[in-house]
Amino acid sequence: MKFSANIGFLWNELPLTDAIKAAKAAGFDAVECHFPYGTPAAAVASTLEETGLPMLGLNTVRGQEGENGLAALPGRERDARRAIEQAIEYAAEIKAKNVHVMAGTADGEMACSTYMANLEYAAEIAEPYELTILMEPLNHLDAPGYFLKNTSQASDIIQKLARPNVKLMFDSYHVQITEGDLTRRLARLQPIIGHIQFASVPDRGPPDCGEIDYDHIFATIAELGFEMPLGAEYRPAGRTEDSLKWLSNIKSKERIK
């Protein structure tokens, strides 16, 4: 099984390029990030080439304070599309796989139609770069009022859009808090999942603590045939290196096999 370090949370005290190198040294198979735009794309691309790690994805910008994304905000279409263009341009330059289009704090039919139109736009301009557009439901505790609330809502939008490069980002942490039933939900949604992330619940720490049995979840994902690296998007309590016992344990078991 392969794992990606989300350097929005892991080694986030380091410059982005140094965090990529730290992830390589720790044994990760890939990296992903949140908002890399303060670092020139050429520097990130060079570091990825040096380390041999792929960049799995990045986010569109959050917008103004409290917006938490722009794509579902009626009246902000121009800003949302600029953010989409910025993310896709950056992702293409560093050869990333995915762009997560953040929906924002919104609700109602106008928000839904705005979001779908912006996703359609994102899918269209991402296609020549072979980029996947991701949608991620966020839980009501960490992101109150966020437009995309659960996997059923996301699945319905994906079905209506019918764009092969629009997929679900299945964040096990958010899904467990909002919906639970991770094993059956992963199996049911597998055809539309583009990326999987994980963290413990309820504290969003490493996967070897909390209420989710990640040994079982990782085994389930393997049985489903999902081969892309899984995103470690958790918050270390201290140094990132001190939170990686779970990774060394998995790697040790794989070596024994």
Active site amino acids: 136, 233
Q: 36, 90 in Cβ contact below 8 A? A: yes
Distance CA 242, CA 254 (A): 21
Distance CA 130, CA 50 (A): 23
| Tokens coding 131 | 């980029």
Go through 33-61 and write b for each residue having 16 or more CB atoms within 10 A of its CB, e for each that does not: bbbbbebebeebbebbeebebbbbbbbbb
Neighbours of 183 (CB within 10 A): 16
Q: How far is CA 54 from CA 5, 20, 47, 148, 214, in A?
A: 11, 10, 10, 27, 24
> Which residues, other chains included, contact 226 with Cβ-Cβ below 8 Å and sequence gap of 6+?
190, 193, 196
Q: How far is CA 245 from CA 10, 170, 234, 239, 250, in A?
A: 14, 24, 14, 12, 9
- H-type alpha helices, the chain: 16-26, 41-51, 77-94, 109-126, 151-161, 172-178, 182-189, 214-223, 245-256
Running DSSP on this structure, what letter comes out for residue 8? T
